[in-house]
Structure 1
Amino acid sequence: MGNTRKIRASALALAVLGTLFVGQAAASGFQLREQSVKNLGKSSAGSMVGKDAAVVSLNPAAMVNLDKNTFQADLTVIDLNAKFSGGGAILGNPAKPLTGGNGGDPGDPTLVPNMAAVFPMHGALEGLTLGASLGAPFGLATKYDPNWVGRYRAIESDVKTMDLTLSAALKLSDGISIGAGFIWERAQATLTKAIDFGTAICAGSGNPANCFNPLYPFQPQALDGGFKVKGADNSIGYVVGAQIAPTDKLAIGLSYRSEIKHELKGDLYFSGVPALLASDPRFVSGPGGARLVTPSITTVSVKYAFADNFRVLADYQYTGWDSLQDVTIKRSNGTVVGSEPFHWSNTSFYSLGMEYDLSPALTLRGGIGKDKTPTNDATRTPRLPDNDRTLYSIGASWNVSDNLSFDAAYQRIEIKSPTINLPVDAASGNTSTLAGKYTGHADLVGVSMQYRF
């Protein structure tokens, strides 16, 4: 009975672990950089020194670049195209291959909205600028076919964060400003996967060889059930920044965004639980949760104007993904269900871009970027088939009048083909192997409107 309970607890850990921290294709890990369509068009180069309302959440000190009340709305569609080739097996004598297809294309087009407003103060408050923004700095939306070969690791992942940022900037002197912002963040997650109850029963029967005896009534992959976890939390963080513009040609921006710690609370749902396991409290739906820490982000931007109508920009960004080392799952009574290592590493992002004013009404821009992945070959999973990326971007601005402008941008992200090679891991409940390779890329299209008054 003790062995059976261990197998059942491991199956629950398998159902939960690896679901609360997942990735998408717009940036490394599950980071999003789509706060600004202008930045999208130049691969985020110069993002901390922009004349763009999105700096409310990126670098509050740069809000002083806007001399009018400004409202901005940005919409970006992220379309991940990915394909898995590979398979897995339930080890034994003989091994049993996992059934199912390649999962299809897990990345449906996903809309990422952002809004920001900036208000320069006047009179006695001259030099002070206030701002507010709503945006999504982290997120994911992927969905595999329910019967794919990797269904025991991942099926659906829908993770959203929404930030409300309230910022203030102070112009200390000509060319020097500082800023700070308060971040209220809402995090939500809905994730699903399959559970191989057949393997759990035969492996826990006291004779694991039953899993390979065709006469045994409970066979691997013959009693699949489902698992779903939903959780949410609100938490707070901050962003601080500075901007130095020693000449009209040169501007340098520095920004730091803090970690934000979440204790996701929600419910665990099990479906298709066999009657033999129905009385086990480990497979009863109920409240539970886990800890999520979104990483700190440090960014340095440089802009240099070689001519009045031509500017070169660059960005360096350091993301503290070491905040994600492992995941511990607990039920609401504090019982630890299990823990699984992730061992993510901190990452660096570099980009170089340019802007050219073709006329007072039309600006063209482009950029290229290199983005490192926080994942590694030892712990990479189908929930995050992430790898190093190269970004190629083009964009344009149309200044309709002194008050109204529109922006559009396109970005192509080429992803270095990641491999996964996941072994059986009884401690975390993974009762089968999964190995293979992903090929894919992402296309991002964005439009925005800025109104000044």
Structure 2
Amino acid sequence: MRAALVLLALVCALVAAPDSARAQSPATILGLHSRSIGLGGAVSASVSDYSSVYYNPAGLANRTDLQLGFGPAIVIPSFKYSNFAGSRKGPTDPFMTNSFGAVVPIGGPLKKRVAFGIGALTPFPNLTTIRIRTPEEPSFVFSEDLLQTPIIAFGLAFRPSKYFTIGAGGQLIIQAEGEVRSSFNLSNATITGRDTALTINPVVAPIFGIQIVPVRFVRIGLFYRSEVKPDIKLPFKADAGIISIEAQFISNVLYSPPQMGGGIAFEFLDQFVLSADGVFVQTSKTPSPGVQLRVTPDALIAPIVTVDPNPGFSDTFQVHVGIEYKYNEDVRFRAGYMRRTTPVPEQAYDTSFLDESISAYSVGAGLTLKDPTEILEKPFTVDFHVQFQQMDSGTARRASPLHPIGDLKFNAWMLNFGFQGTVRF
């Protein structure tokens, strides 16, 4: 009877549950705004466009004119692994992202002191893709699953003096909760009814930042992004006449760990800006990306609770370096580099989390143009970026030669290119 109840519960879950994958903030891997991507993400000290809402909200106060921006990008990912059964690929189809946002300075007595900003990054054509995997299934938990989840961020900044700005805002992530009710006819093994209710709730994770200008040619930025901890909860009830079951799926696939860091930007020779950022990520707080299943059958049988193994992730550190060259007042060229250490320990036993350290190489350019139609009084800018990310080749060596999946070899890379248009009023 116990086996039948478990089987029935799993059938209910498979019928009801969404296809889901682990995801953190997509801005962590894809970036937000072509200028920031072109500089390798080394922008916490110098950012002032709408991507400030993610990188450092204090930068919003550096703008005194209304800005609106929009830009598409193409992402081409490749995730591959192999074992004794042969080679396999992850989701490698190219897809598009759209980023857009605005910076709105406040007028009146707070003119040139307060500004509000909002920014968003959305995948296209799928607004979001979520998968739920077991920890034993090979997956690139900190790469492939970051890609297709939307993000909305906002911020407010204040400039108390010309040497100092402060800002606060947050990331907005969607949390899903629902309930599924099913009824079964055991005599002919058919589902006689199903009722599904799903509630979407926003979850806000605060972001704080400051920017300091100790001397004219030096900028310093500090920021903190709190953890994003939305749960996907899917309770379901099954009634098969003499047997009734209550169960619940609980997944933390949308979790993003706390991040804190800072950076510095030097302007020299009136043409170059060299910037560097360091980011500490508390990846050790990340829960298992698997699913917890709680099954409560009738009172005669003990409840069943599945517990995923502790993933044992370690904290990570990211280094970002960027340089911008001002050819003239209307043309700028950029290059950047990022290195992220892996948080994933050796996968010798029950789990198959695939990850190694990642390097990212970026180039970009910015053009300032006048509107030939003279509809816009102020010039507009077009920024371009190309970024290539390469994961170090890795191997997961199992402690036992009888491991059901066996040793794994894996590698991954991603190409991201696009542009951003910005108008000012």
The two structures have a TM-score, normalised by structure 1, of 0.70
Q: State the partner residue of 2:251.
A: 290
C-alpha distance in structure 2 between counterparts of 1:414 and 1:26, whole Å: 17
1:392 matched to 2:361: yes
Which one of 339, 342, 362 corresponds to residue 373 of structure 1?
342
1:256: Cα distance to partner? 0.6
1:382: Cα distance to partner? 9.1
The code of the aligned residue for 2:277 comes to D
SS of residue paired to 1:183: strand
Which one of 78, 83, 90 corresponds to residue 81 of structure 1?
78
Q: State the partner residue of 1:65.
A: 62
8 Å CA contact 2:26–2:147 kept in 1: the answer is: no
8 Å CA contact 2:168–2:206 kept in 1: the answer is: yes
SS of residue paired to 2:42: coil
8 Å CA contact 2:261–2:279 kept in 1: the answer is: yes
1:373: Cα distance to partner? 1.5
Cα 1:153–1:436 change in 2 (3 A) is: closer
Q: State the partner residue of 1:162.
A: 150
C-alpha distance in structure 1 between counterparts of 2:412 and 2:320, whole Å: 21
The code of the aligned residue for 2:411 comes to T
Cα 1:336–1:324 change in 2 (3 A) is: same
Cα 1:330–1:159 change in 2 (3 A) is: farther
Q: State the partner residue of 2:266.
A: 304
Q: State the partner residue of 1:439.
A: 411
The code of the aligned residue for 2:382 comes to F
Cα 1:382–1:366 change in 2 (3 A) is: farther
Task: List aligned pairs for 1:38-437, cutoff 5 A.
Answer: 38-87=35-84, 101-104=86-89, 106-126=91-111, 127-135=113-121, 153=138, 160-186=148-174, 234-266=202-234, 288-291=249-252, 292-326=254-288, 329-331=292-294, 336-378=305-347, 384-401=353-370, 402-421=378-397, 432-437=404-409
1:231: Cα distance to partner? 10
C-alpha distance in structure 2 between counterparts of 1:450 and 1:122, whole Å: 21
The two structures have a TM-score, normalised by structure 2, of 0.74
Cα 1:323–1:61 change in 2 (3 A) is: same
1:450 matched to 2:422: yes
1:260: Cα distance to partner? 1.9
The code of the aligned residue for 1:338 comes to V
C-alpha distance in structure 2 between counterparts of 1:316 and 1:448, whole Å: 25
Residues 152-194 of structure 1, C-alpha deviation per residue, up to 9 Å, x if partnerless? Answer: 65699687543333321110101201111143321579xxxxx
Identity %: 21
C-alpha distance in structure 1 between counterparts of 2:251 and 2:265, whole Å: 41
8 Å CA contact 1:294–1:323 kept in 2: the answer is: no
C-alpha distance in structure 2 between counterparts of 1:298 and 1:370, whole Å: 16
Residues 275-305 of structure 1, C-alpha deviation per residue, up to 9 Å, x if partnerless? Answer: xxxx9989x9x76222353211112121110
1:50: Cα distance to partner? 1.4
C-alpha distance in structure 1 between counterparts of 2:61 and 2:95, whole Å: 32
8 Å CA contact 2:272–2:325 kept in 1: the answer is: yes
SS of residue paired to 1:45: coil
1:309: Cα distance to partner? 1.6
Residues 38-64 of structure 1, C-alpha deviation per residue, up to 9 Å, x if partnerless? Answer: 111121112442132210232111112
Stretch deviating more after TM superposition (311-320 or 379-388): 379-388
C-alpha distance in structure 2 between counterparts of 1:10 and 1:422, whole Å: 32
1:361: Cα distance to partner? 1.5
C-alpha distance in structure 1 between counterparts of 2:327 and 2:157, whole Å: 31
C-alpha distance in structure 2 between counterparts of 1:317 and 1:113, whole Å: 25
Root mean square deviation of aligned Cα: 4.2
**Which ranges in structure 2 are unaligned for 5 or more consecutive residues?**
178-197, 237-241, 297-302, 371-377
Residues 67-118 of structure 1, C-alpha deviation per residue, up to 9 Å, x if partnerless? Answer: 210112233332222332222xxxxxxxxxx5xx422453222323322211
Q: State the partner residue of 2:299.
A: none
**Which ranges in structure 1 are unaligned for 5 or more consecutive residues?**
88-97, 144-149, 190-229, 269-278, 425-429
1:376: Cα distance to partner? 1.7
C-alpha distance in structure 2 between counterparts of 1:233 and 1:267, whole Å: 16
The code of the aligned residue for 1:123 comes to G
C-alpha distance in structure 2 between counterparts of 1:6 and 1:111, whole Å: 43
Cα 1:64–1:154 change in 2 (3 A) is: closer
SS of residue paired to 1:83: strand
C-alpha distance in structure 2 between counterparts of 1:267 and 1:419, whole Å: 38
SS of residue paired to 1:260: coil
8 Å CA contact 2:22–2:130 kept in 1: the answer is: no
SS of residue paired to 2:29: coil
